[in-house]
Amino acid sequence: MNDLLPSPEICDRARAARDARFDGLFFTAVKSTGIYCRPICPAPTPKPENIRYFANAAAASAAGFRPCLRCRPELSPNAMQHRYADEWVNRSLALIAEGEFLEGSVATLAKKIGLSTRQVGRLFQRNLGASPIAVHTNRRLLLAKQLLTETSMPMTEVALASGFKSIRRFNAAFIEGCALAPSAIRRLQTPVTSGRLSLRLAYRPPFDFALMLAFLAKRAIPGIEKITASSYERVAGPINQTCLIRVTRDAKKPELHLEIANADPRMIPDLVLRTRRLFDLDADLQVVHAGLQSSELLRLGIERRPGLRVPGCWDGFEVAVRAVIGQQISVAGATTITARLVAQFGAIRTDAKGELDRAFPTADVLALASLEGLGLTKARMNTLRALAQAAADGAIHFQAGQKADDFEQKICLIPGIGPWTAQYVAMRALRQPDAFLAGDLVLQQVLGGDARLSEREAAALSQAWRPWRAYAVMHLWHLSSDDKNLEKSHVV
């Protein structure tokens, strides 16, 4: 576990400077107070002999420390997933984040990743310093603490949103983990000025929010998304219980603001998770950039766009459909056809207000849909229906935590889907940081300069950038748009 910590000297300097780039990468526990803090905590500096450093909040909690009320560790960007050399740990953390323990157990988690329960426990203790259940419990308590502090949600709704099925269990767990009753935290609540629930989502700088919005805006789906130069809006949730989210950037702090309207409390963890993944808020760009420095071309890309991140997606099936539609056509053309698809086959949200009143077509609907008249070739229509049928049958799914190779093998069994589409979906839907589209013509051209590389040559060159090749893809695509002599990308 200590291998994941920066050196004590770096931790000392980052803490003294309150450097936001290290937020979530380590936590400072103070033995004299029993509290653990973020590196950016404004509290007075503790005596060196009283300090312990932990690689994650769950480990600090498992060691008996409680979260600081001042710097609020619940706001830290997550630094756990994709941080470990052990693939099983990364996959397990992804499943826990998606709510595996709300209904399942360590045994079901172990079965999904292909290990024994005992092996999973040992891996977590060795890599994280906490058990899988402790990681899950810590996540729930920190979310509850944020909801108690930032919203006026009733206590029963906070308990539901945090995954507790009874107030009694919620109170007991909160006192055990925070040494305070939930009601005591509620008294520290920030005044709520809006009827919408509003949450703060922190990230480690740099982050080019405008660049991310520009990427998403070109691919926005009418009736579902609305994107401006400063905000992202979307309808989500069941067709008969529509909620609306709006994401903006804080002008002074490295945080986004997530506003949520009309959501069932039990939807909140999922809405937060999807938003964080959509905007790649948990990225540690210091580590990413260090892994790409071997390439002069990528160093140029980082110099021009130091805050560039990998855009995620709201829904895996949605982005997979979009990827198929966008094969070998322009972004604008794919957006137009996707809009037609939603207009014809997307259900109308009768409880929605305003222009955002559609749901993306379900796999069941598209599997049987007549897609003529949308502007698709016959082969592309067949591929879309086959993709939808595979998703409806459960032959493929888009849940994070699955092995990238297994996903690619399964989705490439669908006629019309090859490695390019599989890697694009893995990059945006599965949040695979090492996804690489070696067959992409634009990447081959940018990498080759005067002579375009072959797919094999591009893949070989990319090995030096592992495990952050998805970030290399984004930088190379943007570099292609800088060169007016290059052919415009058809990236979907």
Per-residue pLDDT of 436-445, as tens digits, reads 999 999 999 9
Does 305 reside within a domain? no
Single residue among 46, 75, 104 that ends a domain in this structure: 75
> Same domain, yes or no, for 31 and 156?
no
Residues near 411 by beta carbon (within 8 Å), at least 6 away in sequence: 320, 387, 390, 396, 417, 421, 422, 425
- Give me the CATH number covering residue 71: 3.40.10.10
Does 400 reside within a domain? yes
> Same domain, yes or no, for 224 and 352?
no
Q: What is the pLDDT of residues 245-262, one digit of tens each?
A: 999 999 999 999 999 999
Does 355 reside within a domain? yes
> Same domain, yes or no, for 333 and 395?
yes
> Same domain, yes or no, for 446 and 323?
yes
Q: In 3D, which of 236, 225, 315, 222 has the Cα closest to residue 277?
A: 315
Q: What is the pLDDT of residues 198-237, one digit of tens each?
A: 999 999 999 999 999 999 999 999 999 999 999 999 999 9
Q: Please give the positions annotated as active site.
A: 37, 440
Q: What is the pLDDT of residues 161-187, one digit of tens each?
A: 999 989 999 999 999 999 999 999 888
With 0-12 / 13-18 / 19 or more C-beta atoms within 10 angstroms meaning exposed / middle / buried, residue 336 is: middle
> Same domain, yes or no, for 441 and 460?
yes
> Same domain, yes or no, for 8 and 121?
no
> Same domain, yes or no, for 426 and 355?
yes
Which domain range does residue 370 map to?
A: 316-482
Does 300 reside within a domain? no
What separation, in Å, do the N-terminal and C-terminal C-alpha atoms of the chain show? Answer: 39
> Same domain, yes or no, for 58 and 156?
no
Single residue among 186, 206, 222 that ends a domain in this structure: 186
> Same domain, yes or no, for 62 and 113?
no
> Same domain, yes or no, for 344 and 453?
yes
- Pair 237, 263: CB distance under 8 Å: yes
Mean pLDDT calculated for residue range 50-72 = 95
Q: In 3D, which of 441, 442, 455, 453 has the Cα closest to residue 482?
A: 442
Q: Tokens 């409806």, residue?
A: 392
Could you give the CA distance from residue 78 to residue 56 in angstroms, rounded to a whole number?
9
Residues near 252 by beta carbon (within 8 Å), at least 6 away in sequence: none
Greatest distance between any 2 Cα atoms in the chain: 72
Q: What is the CA radius of gyration of the chain?
A: 23
Counted domains in the chain: 4
- Give me the CATH number covering residue 455: 1.10.340.30
Helix (H, G, I), strand (E, B) or coil at 382: helix
Does 304 reside within a domain? no
Single residue among 36, 53, 75 that ends a domain in this structure: 75
> Same domain, yes or no, for 322 and 348?
yes
> Same domain, yes or no, for 359 and 250?
no
Q: What is the pTM of this model?
A: 0.93
- Pair 132, 109: CB distance under 8 Å: yes
